[in-house]
Amino acid sequence: MDPVSTASLEVSGLAFAYPDGHQALFGVDFSIARGERVALLGPNGAGKTTLVLHLNGILTGGAGTVTVAGLEVGKRHMAEVRRRVGIVFQDPDDQLFMPTVREDVAFGPAAAGLRGPELEERVDRALGLVGMAEFKDRPPHHLSFGQRRRVAVATVLAMEPEILVLDEPSSNLDPASRRELADILRSLDVTVLMVTHDLPYALELCPRSLILSDGVIAADGATAGLLADDALMRAHRLELPYGFDPRSVPATPGRP
């Protein structure tokens, strides 16, 4: 299978400096195939947020290119790129602002012109995927943090994206909510890029990881292999929880 024809995301030579002169990215290159689940790892200040903000054109103007499902991120394709790249923020309250769960999930598709039964079907399908259909008429602020995070994922899934980008999806979740979200993410037929400091979660969900360090991709490979490389981990300020041995965990199933 031709990897170019099946790529959800291609990043080539991406470099970016902020107006104050701070250079955040120095030439980032990687490709993610359709259906892959990939973790983006790296210490604070590595450039992870800057990279993610380039994926749907929130940041532009640097060197290099970002291509989503064959569409180069830029003014010509911006609306379609932003539909295809759905970002779930770390704090679900940054995405939930309507009186009910249904209205939050319907907001994006309605803004794109969807109406009537088709809009209702889209909302019901997205909420069903995250196990929140029965909460459709509840105010989001009455839900638990884990439930709000699942609704935030549904607001993105309602746009039927090509790529789901998750920023620290396991943060502030209790163990049960963490497991429930992992089960949901494994069940989705979508490309996933997960930005996380939670290395065991990356190992559980993502067969492949990228390590971004000092604005470049320092390593790209099987998650288990990267986490088991003590020298690599130390070099890029990544630390596993005390007592956690990635060699003792079964391999994460890949996607075809």
- Per-residue model confidence (pLDDT) at position 64: 92
Q: Say whether 10 sits in a helix, a strand or coil.
A: strand
> What pLDDT is recorded for position 253?
64
Q: Where are the domains of the chain?
A: 7-242
Coil, helix or strand for 134?
A: helix
Tell which wins on pLDDT, 212 or 2: 212
Angstrom CA distances, 220 to 45, 56, 87, 196, stand at 19, 22, 22, 15
- At 79-122, the pLDDT tens digits run 889 889 999 999 999 899 999 999 999 999 999 899 999 999 99
Tens-place pLDDT, residues 213-238: 999 999 999 999 999 999 999 999 99
pLDDT at 57: 86
pLDDT for 3: 42
Residue 191, helix vs strand vs coil: strand
pLDDT above 80: residue 1:
no
pLDDT average, residue stretch 156-168: 95
Which residues contact residue 16 at a Cβ distance below 8 angstroms, ignoring those fewer than 6 apart? 23, 24, 25, 50, 54, 59, 61, 62, 63
HSE-up of residue 30 (Cα within 13 Å, Cβ side): 23
Strand ranges across the sheet with 23-33:
23-33, 7-17, 63-68, 71-72
| CATH annotation of 7-242 | 3.40.50.300
Q: Does 45 or 118 have the greater pLDDT score?
A: 118
Q: Output the pLDDT for position 2.
A: 44
Angle at 195 between CA 22 and CA 9, to 5 degrees: 85
What is the SS3 assignment for 151? helix
pLDDT score of 215 = 93
Mean pLDDT of all residues belonging to the chain: 91
Predicted pLDDT at 4: 44
Would the pLDDT of 70 be above 90?
no
